[in-house]
Structure 1
Amino acid sequence: MDDDQNIVAAVRASMEKVVREFANPRSVDATLESITTAALTTIDGVDSVDVLLIDEDGAYRSAGSTSALASDMSQLQHRLGYGPCIDAAVGETLVLSHDLSDEKRWPDYSAAAAAAGARSVMSLQLYTHQGRPSCRASLNLFSNSPNAFEPDSQAAAVMLATHAALALVAHDREAQFRSALASRDAIGQAKGMLMERFTIDAVRAFEMMVKLSQDSNTKLVNVAAQIVAAGPER
């Protein structure tokens, strides 16, 4: 009972620290590093942690890695095209292997991972963005020992994964918001340049930009950027 209470207290303390840091503006990498550090220091059996990010273009990136082993495992799965971290990122809520040296689901990966020193792995899906389903991520915990992740460890990992998912979604929304603001500013600037050059009102200037966008099969924001880049004399 005392051990369980100690685990709960440690996880709660880590959660409070992560939430305090998350409340302040910071990069997504810094937030994920807080998550992986919390996993390493509070969850029994964990020796290495990282977050695997798969972006819209299918590029893989290891973020917040606490060791070379964790990032190496992400790179290995990228080369092979499969593995527990990918399985979690693309669909499985939780993927667990108690002993990679005897694991049949990912034969080449498991053999290489065990040879590198990773004997147990637990991967948890962080999020699949509803608006951009190709953006995926997983929180990945590795142990140098077999049978390292007991139910208590799994429960603590789920709590941390929830916070990591919230951080990723919030960062993604902020990035989209900033992109939308930048697009609006570019369109507004281009519209003003057209109004001045052709002595037309805002509605007519916008209609001209839309027509250019349709005729050239170019996004409106890119048309606006081209107008701004060309300058007022073009």
Structure 2
Amino acid sequence: MADLDLAQLFAEMATNLDQQPTVDEALEETVRMAVEAVGSADHAGVSWCVRRREVDTPYATTSLVKELDRIQYELDEGPSLEAFEEGVATLVRDTSTDERFPRYSAAALERGVRSVLSCALSSPRRTIGALNFYAMHPDAFDDYGVELAKIYASHASIVLANRSLEQDLQVAVDTRGTIGQAMGILIERHRISPKNAFDMLVRGSQQSNMKLRDLAAHIVDTGLDPSAV
């Protein structure tokens, strides 16, 4: 593929991802376009960091990818985990001969997957996941294919990191507003100060083992006091 065609492909990809209304839809579109961008891949999926070291596979082109990722997480070994933890691209040329991830490679080989390429999805502050490519024949990803996948992952990372930040900020704003509404209910009902209302919420959160934002939302919806939850 000519350099000009590649540049146009990545520009269109970034625009398409940026137009997705939510992070989930952007992740889904990332996976869909990945196989098209890296033609030597038969399947693709994304490993996404849910919180700290907890990793999930929210989207994949087939159930086979999700199954292999689940096995990888359970075994705590595999290319996407290495890519995620090290912030690199990890290539398994042939699962029948790979010695770095013996149990994972054996599971992949048993299911007909012979090559795996995992590319870190990195933001300026941290690695947010990994984009994973799978092929049913060995040595599917040559040097050009690896570089192509890395460029695609790099472009996708920028968009996904921005969308994730936007979503986190929106959640923070929504959470703050909900807690404020719950405090307002308690202030009016008990004729107490904002500090005492917040303290009531904190005690109720601890006693009910609910997150503060969830307890606040419950109070706004039901009108119940924290002690009654």
Q: Do structure 1's residue 16 and structure 2's residue 11 form an aligned pair?
A: yes
Q: How much identity, in percent, do the aligned residues show?
A: 27
Partner deviation per Cα, 1:24-43 (whole Å, 9 max, x = no partner): 24232332233223321232
Contact 1:121–1:140 (Cα < 8 Å) also in 2: yes
1:82 to 66, 77, 82: 77
Partner deviation per Cα, 1:176-212 (whole Å, 9 max, x = no partner): 2222222222232233334433556xxxx32112333
The amino acid of 1:67's aligned partner reads T
Partner deviation per Cα, 1:211-234 (whole Å, 9 max, x = no partner): 335656747646644653563899
The amino acid of 1:56's aligned partner reads R
Q: For residues 66 and 119 of structure 2, what CA distance do their matches in structure 1 show?
A: 16
- The TM-score normalised by the length of structure 2 is 0.80
Q: Do structure 1's residue 28 and structure 2's residue 29 form an aligned pair?
A: no
Q: Within 5 A, what are the aligned runs for 1:174-189?
A: 174-189=166-181
Q: For residues 111 and 117 of structure 2, what CA distance do their matches in structure 1 show?
A: 16
Long gaps (5+) in structure 2: none
Q: For residues 201 and 188 of structure 2, what CA distance do their matches in structure 1 show?
A: 20
1:152 alignment counterpart? 144
Long gaps (5+) in structure 1: none
Q: For residues 51 and 201 of structure 2, what CA distance do their matches in structure 1 show?
A: 24
More deviation, 76-85/38-47: 38-47
Equivalent pairs counted in the alignment come to 222
Q: For residues 62 and 224 of structure 1, what CA distance do their matches in structure 2 show?
A: 30
Q: Do structure 1's residue 55 and structure 2's residue 50 form an aligned pair?
A: yes
What SS is found at the alignment partner of 1:102?
Answer: coil
More deviation, 54-63/183-192: 54-63
Alignment root-mean-square deviation, CA: 3.0
1:164 alignment counterpart? 156
> Taking structure 1 as reference, are residues 166 and 90 closer, same or farther at Cα in structure 2, changes over 3 Å only?
same
The amino acid of 1:209's aligned partner reads A
Q: For residues 112 and 198 of structure 1, what CA distance do their matches in structure 2 show?
A: 61
> Taking structure 1 as reference, are residues 100 and 26 closer, same or farther at Cα in structure 2, changes over 3 Å only?
same
What SS is found at the alignment partner of 2:51?
Answer: coil
Q: Do structure 1's residue 93 and structure 2's residue 88 form an aligned pair?
A: yes
- The TM-score normalised by the length of structure 1 is 0.78
How much does 1:119 deviate? 1.4
Q: Do structure 1's residue 209 and structure 2's residue 204 form an aligned pair?
A: no
Q: For residues 187 and 106 of structure 2, what CA distance do their matches in structure 1 show?
A: 66
> Taking structure 1 as reference, are residues 10 and 42 closer, same or farther at Cα in structure 2, changes over 3 Å only?
farther
Kindly name which structure, 1 or 2, has the bigger radius of gyration based on alpha carbons: 1
Q: Do structure 1's residue 140 and structure 2's residue 110 form an aligned pair?
A: no
The amino acid of 1:52's aligned partner reads S
Contact 1:28–1:167 (Cα < 8 Å) also in 2: no
The amino acid of 1:148's aligned partner reads A
